[in-house]
Chain A
Amino acid sequence: MTENIQLNSEGKLKHFLSIEGLNKTLLTEILDIAESFIGMNDQQIKKVPLLRGKTIVNLFFENSTRTRTTFELAAKRLSADVLSMSIATSSTSKGESLLDTIRNLEAMFVDMFVVRHAISGAAHFIAQHTAPHISVINAGDGQHAHPTQAMLDMFTIRQVKQDFSNLRVAIIGDILHSRVARSQIQALNILGAAEVRVIAPKTLLPSHVESLGVNVSHDLTSGLKDIDVIIMLRLQKERMTSALLPSESEYFKCFGLTEAKLKIAKPDAIVMHPGPINRGVEIDSKVADGPQSVILKQVSNGIAIRMAIMAMAMQKQGAAG
């Protein structure tokens, strides 16, 4: 592999673009620091002065509510000045206009970009071309990666299950188009989960998916056996038109998580979903709102994990800075 652009010369986090290339120590450090930010919820004034005087720009080229708001709240709780920009893209010369946008914002003395973009590699591209003192956080790029989502999922899993080494985790649904799944699989393998299993119809799995370090099942009923953590993925409705699936109701019948199917997993299994949920498509409401669901916990944890990652990326950038 070429030089890891995510780390500075001291091996510390500079950009957070993908889980790939980061080691267990660093991922664990992120989880540990986030743990302390959770403690802040007891404070009357929920703010720490770590990033006072820093300017963070959320650059969202793609719609998002949860991710953008939790990034914004995380930045504010770190006392940074934060600006959220939603930029619609339709131009074909995206490369050039993207750089122009970046250059203009750089001229406003920005310290960090949080980027969501429909094109895979966009955050990486910005990190390569932006001024050396600026950190870039990937808030989702195309079908490539969504590393902060994966980290908040790891955090939520650790909160309930403490240790990864005995865990069997099933990721269910549209693996093919999911940047979340890709990042989750990498994080689970780095953190040492006993098994990562993907459960999906053949049409929603990338070819050679096993090479990511997962076991594959095409049947939800048998696939859920012995599972400790169930991660449901959103079925992106726009895929329905592309002949990958017969119909929503057919999908729900085969791959939707119902109370009956949940019973096949371990009795203390937890149910996760990165949101937004399609109730009655990939998950039954009774399961989504049920006692084994930690979906809202994931949302709360998103703030702490993003605080940890932003704070770590903004620390002194040594010689590499």
Chain B
Amino acid sequence: MLDINDLLNKLEAELKRVIVERGLVDPLMIGIRTGGVWVAEQLHQRLGIQDDLALLDISFYRDDFSQIGVNPNVKPSQLPQDIKGRDIILIDDVFYTGRTIRAALNEIFDYGRPNQVVLAVLIERDGKQIPLCPDCVGTSIKLNAGQRIKLTGPSPLSIHLQTLDAVA
């Protein structure tokens, strides 16, 4: 089973390694709403990041707007006005198709041109649809058809493996 603390420990260690390896200076951490923010809150504290945690809502950048419309629960993104030249750690809960990350990168670059972006996710699952991949993961797993991962939080933060057939 997936234990949230094991995954967070692993992700923290991975991030520490990558921060050194890539030479991140005074990084800005950005969490993607909603699950990514919960994970980022934990890591922000563990890594002792100086700047406030930035929040990103990608609703206006999704590529499926014409199919599903505007998310009525959209919240404003909270990013510093100038991220030009910054080293960014982008956090999400689950990496699946990669489309969320594409949208997130597009939005981030509309705030300014960062120096570099590191992507860290709690869980990477199979099903990638575009050529992006995380730099740091808590774990990588393969799910059966109809299975999905759901994060609940923020406290307690926990992971649930759901079988969609059973739900339906």
Q: Give residues in A with beta carbon < 8 Å to B.
A: 12, 29, 32-33, 35-40, 42-45, 47-50, 308, 311-312, 315-316
Please give the distance in Å from B73's CB to the nearest CB on chain A. 8
CA distance in complex: A312, B74 (Å): 12
Residue of B75, B76, B106, B109 with most partner-chain A CB within 10 A: B76
Instruction: Say whether B110 faces chain A, with CB atoms less than 8 Å apart.
Output: yes
Query: 3 closest pairs, A vs B, by CB?
Result: A315-B69, A39-B76, A48-B60
Q: Cβ of A32 and Cβ of B72 under 8 Å apart?
A: yes
Complex Cα spacing A315 to B74, Å: 15
Whether B112 sits at the interface, judged by CB under 8 Å, is yes
Contact flag A45-B110 (CB < 8 Å), given A39-B76, A39-B78: yes
Please determine whether B110 and A43 come into contact, CB atoms closer than 8 angstroms. Answer: yes
Per the CB 8 Å criterion, the residue count for chain B at the interface is: 27
Cβ A316 vs Cβ B68 within 8 A: yes
Residue on A nearest B55 in the bound complex, by CB: A39
What are 6 A-B pairs with beta-carbon distances under 8 A?
A: A39-B78, A40-B60, A43-B111, A44-B84, A44-B110, A311-B70
Cβ–Cβ contact B106 & A315, under 8 A: no
Across-interface contacts of B57 in A (CB, < 8 A) = 36
Cβ-closest chain B residue relative to A53: B66
A316–B84 alpha-carbon span in the complex (Å):
35
Tell whether, in the assembled complex, residue A38 and residue B66 are in contact, meaning their CB atoms are under 8 Å apart. no
Q: Are A36 and B106 in contact (CB under 8 A)?
A: no
Q: Which residue of B lies closest to A315 (CB)?
A: B69
**Inter-chain contact A36/B61, CB cutoff 8 Å:** no
Residue of A nearest to B72 (CB): A29
Q: In the bound complex, how far is the Cα of B109 from the Cα of A311, in angstroms?
A: 22
Point out the residue from B65, B75, B78 that lies within 8 Å of A315, measured CB to CB.
Answer: B65
Give, as a whole number of angstroms, the nearest-CB distance from A320 to chain B: 13
Q: Which of B43-70 contact A (CB under 8 A)?
A: 57, 59-61, 65-70
- The complex places the Cα of A45 from the Cα of B81 at a distance, in Å, of 11
Known: A315-B65, A316-B67, A316-B68. A32 touches B110 (CB 8 A): no
